[in-house]
Amino acid sequence: MTNCASCGREFQAASDTEHLCPQCAAELHQPIAPDPPRGRVRQALESPTVVLVALNTLIYLVMAIESRSFTFDTNLLQNWGANSGASTCGGQWWRLLTSIFEHANFMHLLLNMWCLYNLGWLAELLFGRSRFTLLYFLCGIGGSLASICWRGDGLSVGASGAIFGIAGALVPAMLLANNQRLRRALKGQLVSISLFIAYSLWAGHVSTGTDNAAHVGGLATGLVLGAAFPTGLSALERKGRLRVLAGTMLILMAFAGAAAFAVHRNEAYVETDRASEAYEQGDLNSAIAHAQRAVQLKPEMVHAQFMLGTLLVDQKQYAEAAGAFSAVTKLKPEWGASYVNLCLAQRELKMLKEALANCEQGARLSPNDTESWFNLGRVRYELNDYNGARDALAKAVALNPKGFDENLQYALMLITTGETGKAVTYLQKAHDLRPDDDSVERLLQHARQTGSR
């Protein structure tokens, strides 16, 4: 009698070379029916990589249809959930996630989706589909948090933070794989991915308009999770599931700390947003309070100083407004609008010589700005420089020929300088723009009578 090499049962062997009982031998030689082939569509739908590529593309197409363009402006990106320090830290934390599915233009989408497709299939193979999906979202959020921690209030969109995270996760996963044959097989992939990370970070550093902070944040998140998450068959073990949980909890705690830092970092931007909202709602006092808080938090913030000055002018607090606009001229000396607004505040304070110097500087820096020439003309008039006022207002009319105030004030200056006949043309324009204005009609009639003599 001989023991079966498979099941261990005793059986009568016909020869010395027979080691399997008849039952085990029959099972061994019985053909195994192949699994029914799955359709390609079903296989694609079961791949998170394909689903994510499709979702990103679909969102881009809907945005393109809405904007009727393949390149999107900041308003559309903001409305669709772009990430920014002011909006996100102001309570709209969902932007950390929605921003990773937005892309600013077609090339932005194409490059990101190409990278995602090529990296995603390998990450699915190593981590499994569910852990790959978790990895993608966590790395995307990590990139978004890094963006608002580092860059502040600039808008940020794109899947590149998540893609860098996938690339980063693959590095420790391939280095730490227990299967030696797998590690040898993936050696070439490891080199390629490492070069991709290094080159992309360098390119993001030297180019403008690239959110490299999101790249670094996603990469760092991916490196941690790639080392923590199990790969291959070990992922099925209980210890593997605990590693996923531990790695996720570690990253979430890091996210909480980053979010707290981002709130502190972007507090001034949040206050300026709240000032704008209060102003739109007609609450000027609240708008001023928020703008003052923003300036206290970040005195070097040009936008906050300019907004505060504008709000104070609306409240006729000209001395305080002049202080805010003066700060802007020091922070951004090449910005003509700040000099023009400082000129307006100083004019109201009867500081006419200072106002003249600032209006002239504003006109030099912004020669195509109607308001700069218009206000320069008003200040020159108050300084009794009628010819200078006339010339400045002439440029204002040339820049805005359909402006009621420009035509009216230029006509008055022509009358003042003895050019009443010429003033008729501009009074007629003003009258055509506001035919119900009786004072303009009287001036027009008077100019016609005087000019005809």
pLDDT of residue 64: 97
For the stretch 229-249, pLDDT in tens is: 987 655 455 677 888 999 999
pLDDT at residue 200 tops 50? yes
Please give the model's pTM, rounded to 2 decimal places: 0.78
**448 — pLDDT class (breaks 50, 70, 90):** confident
SS3 71: strand
Residue 37 has pLDDT above 70, yes or no: no
Q: Which two tokens stand for residue 451?
A: 């000019």
pLDDT of residue 186: 65
Helix (H) or strand (E) holding 119: helix 106-127
- What is the pLDDT of the chain when averaged over all its residues? 88
The pLDDT value recorded for residue 71 is 95
Tokens matching residue 274: 């709240």
- Phi, psi for residue 198 in degrees, rounded to 5: -65, -45
CA atoms within a 13 Å half-sphere pointing along the CA-CB vector of 450: 16
- At 446, the amino acid letter reads H
Q: Which helix (H) or strand (E) holds 59?
A: helix 48-67
Token output for 406? 């420009």
Domains, the chain, in order of start with CATH, read: 47-265 (1.20.1540.10), 267-407 (1.25.40.10), 408-453 (no CATH)
| Structure letter (DSSP) for residue 156 | B
End-to-end CA distance of the chain: 142
Quick: pLDDT tens for 138-194: 999 999 999 999 987 789 999 999 999 999 999 888 887 665 655 665 666 777 888
In 3-state terms the chain splits into helix, strand, coil percentages (rounded to 5) of 75, 0, 25
The yes-or-no verdict on residue 427 having pLDDT over 70 is yes
Higher pLDDT, 186 or 122: 122
pLDDT the model gives residue 99: 97
**2 in Cβ contact with 19 (< 8 Å):** yes
Res. 449 pLDDT band, cuts 50 70 90:
confident
How far is 227 from 213, CA to CA, in rounded Å? 21
